[in-house]
A and B are shown apart, each in its own frame.
Chain A
Amino acid sequence: MLGWLSNKTTPLSHIVQTFNQHALPPGSVLARDCPFLVIDLELTGLNAKQDHIVSLGWVPVRQYEIVLSEARHYLVHSPVSVGQSAIFHGLHDKDFDEALDLAEVLTELMQRYAGYIFVAHHCQLDCRFLEVASQRIFGKAAKFSFIDTLNIELYRLQKQGIVMKKDALRLPQCLSRHKLPQSSQHHALADAYSCALLLLSQLKHSHAEITLADLQLQSR
């Protein structure tokens, strides 16, 4: 993973460039054949300009299967103390002894999962933080193609004409609606895994021929 450091001849921005140039699956591809990377970030706040990424968790989904051998969870060094946000994600400064630089983590992410469709629950936030981080670290903003399980859920519920209660779209509520196992919240990998389960359930309850373009439309 540290290979990029010794490889001095490659400018940092190349990592982003290679990632951005990698062909994404066409919209017509069946969801079954589309590679997904489900990701979750834990943050110190909601403002991508001011706040920081505390930890990342991800797990790929290929051929409708969650591949746990590639599940990852990283704590990253934060330029500022974790402070108040520890209340939410339960991570304290002392936990970061084994943390990595965000640069390392993003490099692994972009080198391994170029060409993947990224998935998150309420993805704008995660997408924005990843873009800002790559701009800061590599001098170039990475372009991620995200779909959003929250919006897909909203689309499904509206289509069924279901009146939504407050909080109905939060991940735990979605999990119990889909009769999926709950897990502890605010752990990046646990949440990424839960989100992956939700994605599978959503996919299986759509029509069999659902394409990536359909998902992107529902994610808007």
Chain B
Amino acid sequence: MEVAEVTTFLAGTTPFDQLDSAQLANLAGNISVYYCQNGETVQLSAERLMIVRTGIFALYSDQQTLLTKLEQGDFYGYQLLLTGLTDNDNLVCEEDGLVYWLSADAFHQIRYQYKNIDIFFQRLFSRRLHQYKAQQGNSRFTLKISDVVQARKIAINGEQTVQQAASLMTEKRVSSLLVEQEERLVGIITDRDLRSRVLAANLPAQTQVQQVMTAKPHTIDKHAYLFEAVQLMSRHNVHHLPVMDKQQSYSMITATDIIRSQQDHPVYLIGEIHRQTSVDGLEHCASQVSSLALTLGKQQVPAHEAGHIITTITDALTQRLITLAQLELGPPPCVFSWLAFGSQGRMDQSLNADQDNALLLEKEPVGAVADYFAALADFVCQGLARCGIILCPGNIMASNSALRLSLKGWSGQFGKWVSSPTPEALLKSSIFFDLRVIEGSKGLFNALQQDILAKTQDNALFLYHLAQTALQRTAPLSFLRNFILEHDGKQKKGLDLKKRGISLITDIVRVYALSAGISEINTRQRLVQLAASGVMDSKDTQNLSDAFDVLAQLRWDKHQHDLIQGHDVSNLLDPNVLSGLQRHQLKDSLTVINDAQSSLKHRFCRDL
């Protein structure tokens, strides 16, 4: 007696897609169907699970901030069914649609019967907790470009006249235009350009736009954070940035847009950093980082975004120090790239990160070139140390002459690691494979990165050893799924969230990324790429990504706690302070690491 339309829909909806037709019919028999109208608040009940069939539903927190939107195939109400706990959010229909209500009895029955379905809803629940936290901070610190500017592409062809540009700007009431040639962005023109480059230069109204535009403007991706736009604007002293969506122009963001969108933000710290003229001034700016971190914490900014923000500040400090060094030392004798490794490279820096940096030089470091960059590196590294980013205990810093090399030098160095890998050498060198350019030539850096990827991709011997290195440490779960605790020098017993958690994931993911020639450096981004390119199973990457987020969040929370208590920031966590749910998530994450290590071993350590 089944309604085919309903069972067909269920059969195509995760996690019910694994059921056979008899079970689907049974499930459908426990459903009521409701038509929900735009503006209507959905009445939630402890007695049933909501499944969205059609329409769009917006979920608001009790503070009326938008948490998420539910669409076809999404669920709601599982929290209440799983835990018996309500929360005060409410669900409002935004576009007319049909809702299926599955009775609680049927929901529980299917959950007990099918472990996978149970796991699916448990995951959904834990992710929702995360999402809830993530969204609360959305107000200020983690705004993205796409949150502020709308898709409003106002473009003109480069061959049109400045007069046409002026009338288009007047008509659309904007102060700048994108200039395009065959759908590709070639420049921008602003009202200031019309004034200073046309009128003041006494050019005729028939002048072509491409003669007076700013060609090859700096651009920003629509998914970048807003403060990155501010950083670009203040570094290059521009007020307009074309916003790009996958190589296509999408909109324009102006300094005014940004000021309008927010008044207090780490961008101001970054802006301030770029205005400093002395290391003292930078030191003063950097002293505000810990209070900024506390504010971020209060705003419930999730760990990975906080890591991104802190990295961006370190980047800004580095860039400014390099500029100041050049003011003191004069212009550089050749093109160079300032590289960051490790967590700064991966953009997941934490508050207690040390320096990991190096220099890539266009010329061989001999004579005057060597002297110049030795002085520059010293200036920057010591400056960073004064700004609270401690000198690297392992001396992985540009101030170490072994790490100021030409492209040939670096290529040889990486070649050595790759072609004759030993576990000891790799243990020390693995962070070198997470590298990013902070300042200087991108082209030089890209050449090095391509060289490294070409060396590592499908290089079974190297990957074997790198995987072995990644397997040297294990997640601290005992046979009985208790936490294994360890001592560090200063503190009490605890679980090292970095060494025995986050780093393990970073290490695993690095092996896969290098094996596939993926140029992403950030662990989460690498996972996205690995899933997209089919190198890893998307379920596994999702699990690892979730585990990574949980551990990063625990560490971030721990650091917050240390800051408030006035302690030194430490990665050592006492599992006894965790809530039941957190313990559960932590165990879950460590199990994910164990599983991923087995897969890694299976994949890369088998043939040799």
Of B3, B5, B98, B101, most buried by chain A (CB within 10 Å of CB) is: B3
Residues of B within 8 A of A203 (CB): 35
B29 close to A68 (CB less than 8 A): yes
CB distance from A51 to the nearest CB of B (A): 25
A181 and B29 within 8 A (CB): no
Say yes or no: is B449 at the interface (Cβ < 8 Å to chain A): no
- How near does chain A come to B191, taking the closest CB pair, in angstroms? 45
User: With an 8 A cutoff between CB atoms, is A183 at the interface?
Assistant: yes
Interface size class on chain A is 20 to 34
Interface string of A201-213 (1 = CB under 8 A from B): 1011100000000
Determine the chain B residues whose CB is within 8 A of the CB of A182 once the complex forms.
5
Taking residues whose C-beta sits less than 8 angstroms from the other chain, chain B's interface range is 20 to 34
State A81–B33 Cα separation when bound (angstroms): 36
Q: Is A190 an interface residue (CB 8 A)?
A: yes
- Closest residue on chain B to residue A183 by CB atoms: B5
Known A-B contacts A179-B54, A180-B98, A181-B98; A190 and B4 likewise in contact (beta carbons under 8 Å): yes
Q: Which residue of B lies closest to A184 (CB)?
A: B4
Measured in the bound complex, the distance between the Cα atoms of B450 and A88 in whole Å is: 65
- Asked whether B3 lies within 8 Å of A190 as measured between CB atoms, the reply is yes
Is B30 in contact with A64, judged by CB distance below 8 angstroms? no
* Residue in A closest to B27 when the chains form the complex, CB atoms: A68
Q: Does A93 contact B (CB under 8 A)?
A: no
Residues of B within 8 A of A123 (CB): none
A residues 78-102 in Cβ contact with B at 8 Å: none
B5 and A190: CB pair below 8 A?
Answer: yes
* A14 to B451 Cα, complex, angstroms: 91
Residues of A within 8 A of B6 (CB): 68, 193
Contacts of B2 in A (CB 8 A): 71
Given contacts A68-B28, A69-B29, contact A181 B5 (CB under 8 A): yes
Alpha-carbon distance A141/B287, docked complex (angstroms): 90
Across the interface, name the chain A residue whose C-beta is closest to B8: A183
* Measured CA separation A189–B36 after assembly (Å): 22
A197 x B33 contact (CB < 8 A)? yes
Q: Is A72 an interface residue (CB 8 A)?
A: yes
Check B3 against A179 for contact (C-beta < 8 Å). Answer: no
Question: Interface centre among B5, B30, B53, by most A CB within 10 Å?
Answer: B5
For chain A, what secondary structure do more than half of its interface residues adopt (helix, strand, loop), or is it mixed? mixed
The yes or no answer to A46 lying at the interface (CB within 8 A) is: no
Any chain B CB within 8 A of the CB of A66? yes
- Kindly provide the distance from the CB of A204 to the nearest chain B CB, expressed in whole angstroms: 5
Q: Is B401 an interface residue (CB 8 A)?
A: no
Chain B residues, CB < 8 A from A193: 3, 5-6
Contact pick for A71, options B1, B36, B54, B98, CB 8 Å: B1
Q: Please measure, in the bound complex, the distance between the C-alpha atom of A179 and the C-alpha atom of B36, giving whole angstroms.
A: 12
Taking a contact as CB atoms under 8 Å apart, the answer to whether B1 and A72 are in contact is: yes
Complex Cα gap A92–B30 (Å): 30
Which chain B residues in 256-295 approach chain A with CB under 8 Å? none
In the complex, which residue of chain A has the Cβ closest to the Cβ of B40? Answer: A204
Contact of B33 among A68, A183, A189, A190 (CB under 8 A): A68
- Asked whether A179 and B96 contact (CB < 8 A) given A69-B29, A200-B34, A204-B35, the answer is yes
Name the residue of chain B whose CB is nearest to the CB of A202: B35
| New contact pairs (19) apart from A73-B1, A180-B54, A189-B3, CB-CB < 8 Å | A65-B33, A65-B101, A66-B32, A66-B33, A68-B6, A69-B31, A179-B54, A180-B98, A181-B5, A181-B53, A181-B54, A182-B5, A183-B3, A190-B4, A190-B5, A197-B98, A201-B35, A204-B37, A204-B96
26 contacts between A and B (CB under 8 A): A64-B35, A65-B101, A66-B33, A68-B3, A68-B28, A69-B29, A69-B30, A71-B1, A71-B3, A71-B29, A73-B1, A179-B96, A181-B5, A181-B53, A184-B4, A189-B1, A189-B3, A190-B4, A190-B5, A193-B3, A193-B6, A196-B33, A197-B98, A203-B35, A204-B37, A205-B37
